[in-house]
Amino acid sequence: MSEIEKRLAALNLELPPAPPAGGVYHPVLIIDKMLYVSGQGPSRKDGSLVKGKLGMDLNVEEGYLTARQVGLTMLSTIREHADLSSIHRLVKTFGMVNSVSSFHDQPAVINGFSDLMVELWGEDLGKGVRSAVGMMLPGNIAVEIEAVFQLK
């Protein structure tokens, strides 16, 4: 069992099933020592998605937990295409929050993803550069995140 798998177990976290690609793209692409992950939504264990707009249907705490769930979905997707133990560090996070125009706490929502990465890889390797923006998302999903990881 890899260190990441051990940390997931210690945190009592289960990965949901990896979702199928929702279009014409690669869910994960590895070039040289970089692993690129296409935008991931918040899949639950039963495969359903967390939907709604922040600032209308969901509050910041619910959004934070949703972004954390996106992190688990992303790990599941990565595990379908690569060994989680091959990841050295998180490089970049692009977090998209489905929010009303008056909602301004997108960074606090994306912290759910970022905090999970730090819990799994540590303060230095689990924290990368990041953007957190508000927008309309397909299917009314609450949060979508794409990321880039460096491989060992």
Q: What pLDDT, in 10s, does the model give residues 27-69?
A: 999 999 999 999 999 999 999 999 999 999 999 999 999 999 9
Render the burial of 130-145: b for 16+ CB within 10 Å, e for the rest. bebebeebeeebbbbb
Q: How many domains does the chain have?
A: 1
The count of other CB atoms within 10 Å of the CB of residue 109 is 30
Domain assignment present for 71: yes
Q: What is the pLDDT of residues 65-119, one digit of tens each?
A: 999 999 999 999 999 999 999 999 999 999 999 999 999 999 999 999 999 999 9
Position 2 scores a pLDDT of 84
Write the single-letter amino acid at 139. Answer: G
Q: Retrieve residue 144's tokens.
A: 């979508």
Give first-to-last CA distance, the chain, whole Å.
Answer: 17
Question: Which residue range(s) make up the domain with 127?
Answer: 3-10+25-144
Place of tokens 């299917």: 139
User: How would residue 1 be classed by pLDDT, with cut points 50, 70 and 90?
Assistant: confident
Instruction: Identify the CATH number of the domain in which residue 90 sits.
Output: 3.30.1330.40
Determine the pLDDT at residue 15. 95
Q: Residue 16: is its pLDDT beyond 80?
A: yes
Considering the domain boundaries, does residue 152 fall inside one? no
Structure-token match 């998180």, residue found: 90
Residue 38 contacts residue 28 (beta carbons within 8 Å) = yes
Mean pLDDT of 20-24: 90
Strand order in the sheet with 28-31: 28-31, 34-40, 143-151, 87-98, 129-135
Q: Is residue 126, in this structure, part of any structural domain at all?
A: yes
